[in-house]
Amino acid sequence: MINLETPDYLASMRSSMNNLAAGVLRPIARKYDAAEHEYPAELDMFRGMQILGRPKKKKADAPKPDGGNGKPKKGINLSTVATIEEMCWGDAGLLLSIPNAGLGNAAIAAVATDEQLERFGGKWAAMAITEPGSGSDSGSITTTARRDGGEWVLNGEKIFVTCADRCDIVVVWATVDRSAGKSGIKSFIVEKGTPGFKLEHLEHKLGIRASDTGTFVLDECRIPFDNILGSAEVKKDTEGFKGVMKTFDNTRPMVASMATGIARASLDFTREKLDESGATIDYKRNLNNVGSLEKDFYLMEAHLEAMRLLVWRAAWMADTEQFNNVEASMAKAKAGRQGTLITQKCCELLGPLGFSKEHLAEKWMRDSKIMDIFEGTGQIQHLIIARNVLEMSGKDLK
Amino acid sequence: MICFACSEEQTLMKETAAKLVQGAIADAAHQMDETGRIPDDAVRKFRELGTLLAAIPEEYGGYGMGNSPIMNSIILEELAAGDMGFAIAATLPALFLMPVMDCGTDAQKARHLADFAADPDGACGTLAINEPRFRFDPYDLATTAVRKNGSYILNGTKCFVPLAETARRIMIAAALDGTNGLFIVDRNNPGLTVGAREKNLGLNSLATHPITLTDCEIPADDRLGGDAGCDYDRLLQRTWTAIAAIGTGICRASYEYAKNYAKEREQFGEAIASRQSIAFMIAEMAYEVDAMRLMTWKAASALEAGRDAQREAYLARIYAGEMAMKLTDYGVQVLGGHGYIREHPVERYYRNGRGIAILEGMAIA
């Protein structure tokens, strides 16, 4: 039965997460925007906390994840996106810097064997997919993994790796058979310090500067055979690759929720200034009879609500074990773009306050832009949605 | 617990309404728009579902099953996906009776609810909120009510009053001592004049009329809620949620038509849907229609929980107002020149879509 009232447990969780974000993240947001790449030591307090529903090390006698009672905690996707929104209201760059909560951790949680979880479950895992010549077209990657006895030998270059400096391990996408196309793409766990695995440099970015985005070079890098995630077999179909892409169904609503959190921060600050100026926000006013600033504000708040509802729906579907591929893309398409627009508009409405580094509004505008880019650009999301609703293949709708 | 999926009961009602629209409205909607007439048969078929009777308490002759703003929103979306005028006409008695149920005195409930229950097909009431003026705002009414002896005297002008000519009673929104109230006026009251049917941009299937109130005197007992007055905020919240549901229905219809057209229409040797310029508009329509619906359901959920839905209903309505225009515009654009021809429904959705941000009090959730 339709019921979109926020449950009490979620409301109180949001409120305590907001306190945490306001108390810990917001006060150091500017500091680490300025001190790009410096590790935010204040975040060490999160090391022991299970803040993003990442996997704990499995006990030997724990039930399998696919066994009845070994299912993930109830409502984990919804509470995760709600947490992310609050944390990003505090600071998005810092959220991305929270220890042991990298995208690689999500991939490991999804497909690792018990033995791999034992070895890597407690480590901070980054994700390396993008290459200089392979962005949205992640099926075209050229990093190779060659089998040599009991080892894999990796060669290639990976860019835009989040948490590149601070992570312990990196989940690297590589092809074991280029002639097999997407079916040949597998993911491998590479530990920092492995010979032939080098962090080449860190990027200087428009926003989320607290996050250490970097480039890795793999040069005859040898890793144990067991470091492959999933099966080493190259199948005829692309089911394996599709399986990897499925991770995005969980992570895209998370990114969309990041956009929602940043946009809300911008709106809250703008509202504060509107209040101070004597313009009260009153959900009764006809839009024809309010000032231009207020009209923009009301409409942005409506868009923010739409963003959040699309995110929550996608997360709720994941929680109720429904296939949410298109809904995840809808959330990402809407929130990524709208968050960008809201943070831009808030700076405009704030005038000089929106251009000065005295305030965070300019930073939110820079931070938000990445949300329409990583985990699939807005254009890729539109493609996924369009192909789905039009029932057209990638060949018919390029 | 939070839930984004329909229950069996909700799905059944949604499918029933959709089937009714498919059978009685879908093929007729164009003709209805051209001739300005909604088939009585279609309205009767909807009324036979008894959705309003179900909400009326047993003591007044209903089934006493309670009112569900969420269910009402689901139904309104389906009906409006067929035709906006039909959605308003079919559910019209609710627009008059729901405020009575919410805020009426015992005597008012006994009179109006029982009247309806005794003859559900008979002429009922309608609601008059809109006023024909620049900067109109339902919270800043120019129509006034003044207390005089044992009566109220009403003065003012209203517009877009649905089916005013055939209504037995008209509920008038008017300002009284700095507050907003609702006043029930008999259609035959000598102080009330129903003007000639209006000619509007859209909503052509539905007869709407202007109303003039000239020193229109009504007994004090006909003020909704008696001396205590009514919960005008809640009435607007419920009508805003309803108009958002109707906007969702119109946009969904435009989206589905444009989507199917884009797959069939070939240019340059392939379906126009195979071009991103078209496909991306379709994708945007898909998720914005969903967003409109979720916003509507969010407001309806708050109403259903019995809590103040001021923020949610307001946001759902202004979002629907924005999107109804944007998406129905896309619908016409995807069809190009053909979208401009009245044989295709997208131009009707476009004209009707303009009403979502403008019209007040046309339906209730």
Beta strands (DSSP E) in chain A are 125-128, 144-148, 151-161, 169-175, 185-191, 197-202, 214-224, 228-229
The verdict on B68 and B147 lying in the same domain is no
- Rounded to 5 degrees, φ, ψ at B173 are -90, 125
Judge whether B7 is closer than 8 Å to chain A, CB to CB: yes
Catalytic residue among A86, A294, A362, A375: A375
> Cβ neighbours of residue B242 under 8 Å, at least 6 residues apart?
B72, B73, B76, B362, B363, B364, B365
ipTM exceeding cut-off 0.95 for this assembly:
yes
User: Phi-psi category of B66—alpha, beta or left, where left has phi over 0 and alpha has psi -120 to 50?
Assistant: left
> Cβ neighbours of residue A113 under 8 Å, at least 6 residues apart?
none
Percent over 70 (pLDDT), chain A: 92
| pLDDT tens digits along A295-351 | 999 999 999 999 999 999 999 999 999 999 999 999 999 999 999 999 999 999 999
Q: Do A310 and B140 touch (CB under 8 A)?
A: no
Whether the Cβ atoms of residue A102 and residue A129 lie closer than 8 Å to each other: no
Average pLDDT rounded to a whole number, residues B254-272: 97
CA angle (A295 as vertex; A292, A297 as ends), nearest 5: 110
Q: What is the residue range of B51's domain?
A: 8-118
If one counts the domains in chain B, the total is 3
The verdict on B324 and B282 lying in the same domain is yes
Local confidence band at A46 (pLDDT 50, 70, 90 cut-offs): confident
Q: Is the pLDDT of residue A51 over 60?
A: no
Alpha-carbon distance B349 to nearest alpha carbon in chain A (angstroms): 21
Tell me if B364 is assigned to some domain: no
Strand partners for A187: A173, A229
Take residue A385 and report the two structure tokens written for it.
């949605």
For residue B275, the chain A residue with the least C-alpha distance is: A397
Q: Which of B2, B130, B137, B358 to mutate to test the interface with A (most CBs of A within 10 A)?
A: B2
Domain edge (last residue) among B118, B134, B152: B118
Q: Which of B135, B298, B322 to mutate to test the interface with A (most CBs of A within 10 A)?
A: B298
Q: Do A5 and B2 touch (CB under 8 A)?
A: yes
Tell me if B178 is assigned to some domain: yes
The verdict on B87 and B139 lying in the same domain is no
Alpha-carbon distance B211 to nearest alpha carbon in chain A (angstroms): 23
Contacts B324 to A, Cβ<8 Å: none
Contacts B259 to A, Cβ<8 Å: 389-390
* Predicted local confidence at residue A240, as pLDDT: 67
Give the least confident one: A243-257, B46-60, B341-355.
A243-257
User: Which of these, A165, A160, A161, lies nearest to A192 by C-alpha position?
Assistant: A165
Take residue A288 and report the two structure tokens written for it.
């024809």
User: Which of these, B344, B334, B343, lies nearest to B267 by C-alpha position?
Assistant: B334
Tell me if B1 is assigned to some domain: no
Which residue is associated with the tokens 């849907």?
A: B273
Cα separation of A46 and B253, whole Å?
48
* Predicted local confidence at residue A53, as pLDDT: 47
Q: Is the pLDDT of residue A71 over 90?
A: no
Q: Do B290 and A1 touch (CB under 8 A)?
A: no
Average pLDDT rounded to a whole number, residues B325-346: 97
Query: Domains in chain A, please, with CATH?
Result: 8-123 (1.10.540.10), 126-229 (2.40.110.10), 239-390 (1.20.140.10)
Percent over 90 (pLDDT), chain A: 78
Tell me if B94 is assigned to some domain: yes
Q: Do A397 and B274 touch (CB under 8 A)?
A: yes
Strand partners for A185: A175
Average pLDDT over chain A reads 91
Judge whether B137 is closer than 8 Å to chain A, CB to CB: yes
* Predicted local confidence at residue A286, as pLDDT: 96
Beta strands (DSSP E) in A76-209 are 125-128, 144-148, 151-161, 169-175, 185-191, 197-202
Domain edge (last residue) among B64, B83, B118: B118
- Overall residue count recorded for chain A in this entry: 398
The verdict on B257 and B324 lying in the same domain is yes
Beta strands (DSSP E) in chain B are 125-128, 144-148, 151-162, 169-176, 179-186, 192-194, 208-219, 266-267, 270-271
The verdict on B236 and B166 lying in the same domain is no
Which residue is associated with the tokens 């773009």?
A: A337
Cα separation of B109 and B92, whole Å?
17
Cβ–Cβ pairs < 8 A, chains A and B = 164
Q: Which of A78, A334, A390 sits opposite B291 (nearest CB)?
A: A334
* Predicted local confidence at residue A17, as pLDDT: 96
Based on the residue annotation, tell me whether A375 is a catalytic residue of this protein: yes
Give the least confident one: A244-253, B194-203, B328-337.
A244-253
CA A325 to chain centre: 15
Average pLDDT rounded to a whole number, residues A183-202: 96
In chain A the first and final C-alpha atoms are separated, in Å, by 38
The verdict on B239 and B347 lying in the same domain is yes
Alpha-carbon distance B119 to nearest alpha carbon in chain A (angstroms): 32
Which residue is associated with the tokens 């507050």?
A: B179
Distances from the Cα of B187 to the Cα of B6, B123, B332, angstroms: 40, 11, 40
Local confidence band at A290 (pLDDT 50, 70, 90 cut-offs): very high
The verdict on B297 and B279 lying in the same domain is yes
Average pLDDT over chain B reads 97
Whether the Cβ atoms of residue B78 and residue B18 lie closer than 8 Å to each other: yes
Q: Do A330 and B290 touch (CB under 8 A)?
A: yes
Q: Which of B139, B270, B279 sits opposite A284 (nearest CB)?
A: B139
Tell me if B280 is assigned to some domain: yes
The verdict on B251 and B337 lying in the same domain is yes
For residue B270, the chain A residue with the least C-alpha distance is: A396
A325-350 and A239-276 are packed helices; what angle lies between their axes, rounded to 10 degrees?
A: 30
What are the CB-based long-range contacts (under 8 Å, 24+) for B65-71? B67/B98, B67/B101, B68/B304, B69/B238, B69/B241, B69/B299, B69/B300, B69/B303, B69/B304, B69/B365, B70/A1, B70/A2, B70/A3, B70/B10, B70/B297, B70/B300, B70/B301, B70/B304, B70/B365, B71/B10, B71/B13
Q: Please provide the DSSP assignment of A289-321 as one string.
A: GS-HHHHHHHHHHHHHHHHHHHHHHHHHHHHTT
The verdict on B224 and B236 lying in the same domain is no
The verdict on B101 and B162 lying in the same domain is no
Q: Is B228 exposed, middle or buried (0-12, 13-18, 19+ CB in 10 A)?
A: exposed
Q: Which of B135, B273, B302 sits opposite A390 (nearest CB)?
A: B273
Take residue B243 and report the two structure tokens written for it.
């108009």
Cα separation of A87 and A261, whole Å?
7
Tell me if B277 is assigned to some domain: yes
| pLDDT tens digits along A92-141 | 999 999 988 888 888 888 788 999 999 998 899 999 999 999 988 888 99
Whether the Cβ atoms of residue A186 and residue A230 lie closer than 8 Å to each other: yes
Q: Is B155 exposed, middle or buried (0-12, 13-18, 19+ CB in 10 A)?
A: middle
Q: What is the CATH number of the domain that holds B14?
A: 1.10.540.10
Q: Do B259 and A382 touch (CB under 8 A)?
A: no
User: Which of these, B232, B284, B241, B242, lies nearest to B262 by C-alpha position?
Assistant: B284
Which DSSP category does A7 fall into? P
Contacts B263 to A, Cβ<8 Å: 390-392
Which residue is associated with the tokens 């997360």?
A: A315
| DSSP strand pairing (B151-162 vs B144-148) | antiparallel
Q: What is the CATH number of the domain that holds B197?
A: 2.40.110.10
Tell me if B260 is assigned to some domain: yes
Cα separation of A132 and A200, whole Å?
13
Tell me if B211 is assigned to some domain: yes
Give the least confident one: A57-66, A386-395, B40-49, B321-330.
A57-66
User: Which of these, B138, B2, B13, lies nearest to B65 by C-alpha position?
Assistant: B13
Q: Is the pLDDT of residue A263 over 60?
A: yes
Q: Is B188 exposed, middle or buried (0-12, 13-18, 19+ CB in 10 A)?
A: exposed
Average pLDDT rounded to a whole number, residues B273-294: 98
For residue B8, the chain A residue with the least C-alpha distance is: A1
Q: Is the pLDDT of residue A52 over 60?
A: no
Q: Which of B286, B318, B357 sits opposite A298 (nearest CB)?
A: B318
The verdict on B266 and B336 lying in the same domain is yes
Average pLDDT rounded to a whole number, residues B337-351: 97
* Predicted local confidence at residue B115, as pLDDT: 94
Position B216, amino acid: C
* Predicted local confidence at residue A107, as pLDDT: 83
The verdict on B238 and B221 lying in the same domain is no
Contacts A287 to B, Cβ<8 Å: 318, 321, 357
Cα separation of B185 and B201, whole Å?
28
Domain edge (last residue) among B228, B262, B278: B228
